Amino acid sequence: MTQKLYDLKGRPRIVVTGMGAVTPNGIGVDAFWQSLKSGQSGIGKITRFDATDFPSKIGGEVKGFEPTDYIDRKEARRMDRFTQLAIASAHMAIADSGIEISPKKADRIGVTIGSGIGGMETLTDQFAVLDSKGPNRISPFFVPMMIANMAAGQIAITFGAKGPNATLVTACASSSHALGEAVRVLQRGEADVMISGGSEAAFVPIAFAGFCSMKALSTRNDEPERASRPFDKERDGFVMGEGSGILILETLEHALNRDAKIYGEIVGYGSTADAYHITAPEPEGEGGARSMEMAIRDASLEPTEVDYINAHGTSTPQGDIGETLAIKRVFGDHAYKLLVSSTKSMTGHLLGAAGAIETIASILAISEGIIPPTINLENPDGECDLDYVPNIARKADISVALTNSFGFGGQNATLIIKKYQ
């Protein structure tokens, strides 16, 4: 029994027992997964502000989200949208897991959440108040609504989780780092359960204008659903999205003791820096390659044991080539046997929440034996020559999935999920 509970390095095995998702192509894990399997895009014209004067006018907005379905109306008004999304997906994940957070066990249940930008909507709103009405009209809730750690703080307050609590801010790698660090907390024995993932809600003019100014966003405005096209020769930038993904991680021993259902096992975590440029990835994918290699070593696996990669795959000209080169560097000939797909083709890029959502997609790909496709891959880039599962989901019996997240600042994170046995 002891050998079963610990990995080859003598650390507690870490399993996923609950998941919640609020995404542009579905609220709830089931809706999200059905959309991915059917190749359904969640991208459309921006409605959260007037984008008439912006070069890009499209995005992956969460549609039909009602905060009061999950949060008391008064409390919801004191939360930024990114916190509301996080609370909602945490509600789903906790309910899915069947975990009971009692006062007796509260200090053994922790929270790690990633967010790249935090309460940008609140910041924008309060700047307008300051400009039009003066400093005395700024909300007393402005700072605690805006700061990036408040999703983690509010999850702990809402559910009574008194264990280790932290927020990871590494741009688009934030929630993958949050999940990886949650694994480390559990492996160190500092908690039995972690509520972990990410949330982002940055559809405000100033943030969107910033990405437009960098020429990072797609301007395929007349065809929103076809705009995010990772690895395609005609890709012209990423499509911004919003949403949240939360997972319940537990030590295997704790999960077995309460007879929890187990979706899969997180067996590897890698974290590196490009140390190259504030926004551009290292052209040969060197930092991403080392992140994957670190995760594979951490998992005590051989590269040939990896079956599927949920790619960072943002649909940017440089990024997709760099990630392809990184995969080839790590996997050699096996790279051409791997199944690789980018679910950002359907969700857009959820920034700091992307890693958590894509970890959920990877877990479901393993458990259901279905690889979600890379939609809009119609004219493959000659420099992107792997099997990206174009346009149609594919049945495949896979045991090990790897998911990449790469952020501005050259911060990289890789997670490896394995079928639970």
Element (H, E) at 339: strand 339-341
Q: 177 catalytic, yes or no?
A: no
Catalytic residue, candidates 91, 177, 254, 349 = 349
Catalytic residue, candidates 91, 172, 212, 254 = 172
Cα angle 177, 351, 369; round to 5: 70
Give the DSSP letter string of 268-299.
EEEEEE--S-SSSPPTT-HHHHHHHHHHHHHT
What is the Cα–Cα distance from 239 to 237, expressed in whole angstroms? 7
E strands within 106-150? 109-114
What is the Cα–Cα distance from 33 to 247, expressed in whole angstroms? 15
Q: Are strands 339-341 and 308-310 parallel, antiparallel or unpaired?
A: parallel
Catalytic residue, candidates 91, 177, 254, 312 = 312
* Best CA proximity match to 156, nearest among 105, 110, 196, 118: 110
* Best CA proximity match to 32, nearest among 175, 245, 261, 195: 245
* Best CA proximity match to 177, nearest among 273, 321, 319: 273
Q: 312 catalytic, yes or no?
A: yes
What is the Cα–Cα distance from 69 to 403, expressed in whole angstroms? 31
Q: 172 catalytic, yes or no?
A: yes
What is the Cα–Cα distance from 82 to 79, expressed in whole angstroms? 8
Q: Which two tokens stand for residue 40?
A: 């359904």
Q: Are strands 264-273 and 14-23 parallel, antiparallel or unpaired?
A: antiparallel
Provide the annotated active-site residues. 172, 312, 349
